[in-house]
């Protein structure tokens, strides 16, 4: 049972919305997330294990990607509730750095999404079609491979997910948000477990960066932002559920 201050007042609160680029930077890049979320692959065997898990669960292989980032957080809310929060993903979300990377649904549909750097739909440099030879508008273009809204029959994990093919300026690969019921044998205690997975090759399949540290910097930025995103989804989901259960207006 949740700890409430009174019968009507919740102890939780929603994540604060960013008001501009500075608050995006503070909330998603500067701030250290309360709960670490990155799953670290300590060996090639561990990486292969996750490759197989992803292929088995969503039917999409990730072994061809040189970079695989998997983040994971437990949420004290039902799977269906958390998944509905994911379906609300848009430019008004308090869980995404929308001033740095603006979310725009194409034809207001979750099946196709553009992510625009700083909200730019065109380059602010006159007639140029790229920046320093690199095309960053859109930064990401997500087209759904599959949106699993209802679990399969006999799926005891109660899994639902959004799986996208990702193109655009950077990266090239897949993007997935996956939520399932907790598995007691794995030591999971919350009602739901949320995973965010990105698989890609640095600047496309053929390109190998001249300076490997650039890849490491990008991964570091991505991991910090993703951890804060998942912490905020957890905070928002648990706050809304507690507010509803307490009968608060």
235: domain CATH number? 3.30.530.20
Q: Is residue 35 part of a domain?
A: yes
Q: Is residue 127 part of a domain?
A: yes
Per-residue confidence at 221, pLDDT binned at 50, 70, 90?
Answer: confident
Q: Is residue 7 part of a domain?
A: no
Rounded Cα distance between 50 and 239, Å, is 31
Q: Is residue 4 part of a domain?
A: no
Provide the pLDDT for residue 211.
54
The 8 Å CB, 24+ separation contacts for 19-24 are: 20/99, 21/99, 21/100, 21/118, 23/99, 24/97, 24/98, 24/99, 24/100
Provide the whole-model pTM: 0.86
Q: What's the distance, Cα to Cα, between the start and end of the chain in Å?
A: 20
Provide the pLDDT for residue 212.
61
Spatial contact of 179 and 83, defined as CB atoms under 8 Å apart: yes
Rounded Cα distance between 101 and 93, Å, is 12
Provide the pLDDT for residue 218.
75
Rounded Cα distance between 172 and 25, Å, is 24
pLDDT in tens, 223-236: 999 999 999 999 99
The SS3 assignment for 212 reads helix
Q: Is residue 46 part of a domain?
A: yes
Closest by CA to 102, choosing from 117, 123, 89, 88, is 117
Q: Between the ranges 66-80, 114-128, 129-143, where is the mean pLDDT highest?
A: 66-80
Per-residue confidence at 113, pLDDT binned at 50, 70, 90?
Answer: very high
Q: Is residue 143 part of a domain?
A: yes
Look at the chain and report how many structural domains it folds into. Answer: 1
Return the residue matching tokens 């553009």. Answer: 114
Give the mean model confidence (pLDDT) for residues 72-101: 92
Beta bridge partner(s), residue 173: 166, 200
Q: Is residue 10 part of a domain?
A: no
Q: Domain limits at 39?
A: 21-243
Per-residue confidence at 128, pLDDT binned at 50, 70, 90?
Answer: low
Q: Is residue 169 part of a domain?
A: yes
Length of the chain in terms of residues written:
249
Provide the pLDDT for residue 217.
75
């Amino acid at each position: 049972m949740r700890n409430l201050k009174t019968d009507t007042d919740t102890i939780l609160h929603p994540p604060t919305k960013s008001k501009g680029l500075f608050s995006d930077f503070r909330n998603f890049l500067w701030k250290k997330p309360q709960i670490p979320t990155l799953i670290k692959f300590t060996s090639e065997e561990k990486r292969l294990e996750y490759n197989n898990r992803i292929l088995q669960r969503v039917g999409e292989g990730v072994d061809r990607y040189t970079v695989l980032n998997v983040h994971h957080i437990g949420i004290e809310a039902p799977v269906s509730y958390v998944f509905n929060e994911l379906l609300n993903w848009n430019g008004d979300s308090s869980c995404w750095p929308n001033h740095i990377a603006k979310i725009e649904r194409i034809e207001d549909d979750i099946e196709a999404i553009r992510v625009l750097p700083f909200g730019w739909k065109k380059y602010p440099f006159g007639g140029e079609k790229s920046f320093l030879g690199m095309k960053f508008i859109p930064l990401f273009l997500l087209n759904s491979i599959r949106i699993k809204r209802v679990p399969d029959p006999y799926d005891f994990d109660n899994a639902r997910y959004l799986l996208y093919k990702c193109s655009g300026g950077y990266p090239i690969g897949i993007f997935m948000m996956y939520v399932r019921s907790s598995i007691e044998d794995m030591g999971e205690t919350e009602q739901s477990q949320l995973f965010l997975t990105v698989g890609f090759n640095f600047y496309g399949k053929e390109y190998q960066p001249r300076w490997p540290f650039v890849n490491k910097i990008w991964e570091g930025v991505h991991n910090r932002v993703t951890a804060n995103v998942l912490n905020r989804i957890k905070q928002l989901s648990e706050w809304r559920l507690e507010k509803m259960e307490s009968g608060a207006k």
